[in-house]
Amino acid sequence: MAEQIKTHVLVLGGGPGGYVAAIRCGQLGLETTLVEADKLGGTCLIRGCIPSKAMIHVAGQFETMRHAAAKPVHGIKLSAAPSLNLADTVAWKETVVAKLNTGVTQLLKRAKVNVVKGWGTMQDGKTCSVKTASGDIEIHADHVILATGSVSTELPFMKFGGDVISSTEALMLDKLPEKLVVIGAGYIGLELGIAFAKFGSQVTIVEAMDRILPLFDKQLSDPVKRWLDKNGVTVHLGAKAKMLEKGRKGSSLVVETSDGKTVELPADKFLVTVGRRPLTEGWGIENMAIDMAGRFVKVDDQCRTSMKNVWAVGDLVGEPMLEHKAATQGEMVAEIIAGHNRKFAPAAIAAVCFTEPEVVSAGLTPDDVQTQGIDAITSVFPFAANGRALSMAAGDDGGFVRIIARKDDHRVLGIQAVGAHVAELSAEFATVLEMGALLEDVAGTIHVHPTLSEAFHEAALRGLGHAIHI
């Protein structure tokens, strides 16, 4: 007979939505059990955000050394070109992942959360059967938080396996592919494609839309496109991947280009990054009376599902599929279960693309305000006029900060930026939007010199008609 566990809160999934919910439940004194079959931390920590940023960091260092070996860079010259041992790079990346995984484990332990390692399957709305290494466990709960996350989307004619890889396998390669074809020019494909280009792979990108980063506006994506062109990355826009041909000399992707021609792209690896989908299979959702919203679980502004005391958070409940959204929802649900009055109604959820250069967007875009008929001020300040950017040799990549505000009351509606290290500005952007700040508030805040944030200050001044440094 299966071991029986009775708990107040059951969390299914140990990713950022799940483990944050479990920790907060524990902090609030709620008896909590978390079920996770893999390592704690989820996609973002184990096989996504964190490991990819570690690889991107190393790729940037390697590129800098390659350039210094080719010719002097700011007075630095290397006598020989650097060499790359990708297996060692991956091993270092895994130490970063392990450190964070251990940290999550300790935080759950400190919060007195009971962690059950195994695959959990919901039998009904409050019962979960877990297959563990030591036998089956049946868990009964008063509240259930579903946090099963998402998985990479496959192409029908290119199932993952062998030379066809997802971002997960790309981050585990022990040998640098000489030729890499990336299908999909969204943020995942471009982040990894650019990293491998810096490592020295010959990278080709195939995108069905007419431009890269289709979720960002063209003004933001253009500097990234210029970097790709300058660094020899071939980009096929308006192109459709048709089939994978395997021959004696290797495999080639057959692509229909925008002008109707067919080209073959040979490669060692084919990285498919055409999106992610919520993980709704294999854990018993069919045994629960849960309403769906398309492919996502339907929830209200408190993340309640259609079943009483069953909650869902993160990638499972819709876009944007971002760690910080999932974690915020998980924390909120825990507090609601504990009796707090909370709802999920952020003014904005900032999105960051760690490309070259980086891209940040929070709130409304120029297209949004035009569609909504809002009379707005749009002001842009270039990093070419920012001292900190110039001191990092990051002033000539076309980067800028852009602020969009209502013309009548100067309320800030949206903020975007593209440039080196602009990801670090995302918190200030989100804070300004959450606080309902005016252009005058940003302009009246003293920004530290020399920092990139001064460009944000100057953009606000420019929106008011009196920028200083342009």
Give the side-chain half-sphere CA count within 13 A for 380. Answer: 14
159 burial class (0-12, 13-18, 19+ CB within 10 angstroms)?
A: exposed
Catalytic residue chosen out of the listed positions 449, 457, 466, 469: 449
Question: In 394-409, which positions are buried (b, 16+ CB within 10 angstroms) versus exposed (e)?
Answer: bbebbbbbbbbbbeee
For residue 255, give the amino acid letter: V
Angstrom distance (rounded) from CA 460 to CA 278? 39
Q: Which amino acid, one-letter code, is at 247?
A: G
Distance between CA atoms of 402 and 400, rounded to whole angstroms? 7
Question: Hey, CA dihedral for 35, 39, 45, 46, is it positive or negative?
Answer: negative
Strand pairing report for 114-117 and 32-36: parallel
Q: If residue 266 lies in a helix (H) or strand (E), which one and from where to where?
A: strand 262-267
320: preceding bond cis by omega (within 30 degrees): yes
Number of Cβ atoms within 10 Å of the Cβ of 200: 17
Q: Could you confirm whether 449 is annotated as catalytic?
A: yes
Pull the structure tokens for residue 3.
Answer: 């071991």
- Whether the Cβ atoms of residue 148 and residue 13 lie closer than 8 Å to each other: yes
Do the strands 262-267 and 250-256 form a parallel or antiparallel pair, or are they unpaired? antiparallel
Query: Residue 250: in which H helix or E strand, if any?
Result: strand 250-256
What end-to-end distance do the CA atoms of the chain give, in Å? 75
Catalytic residues: 449
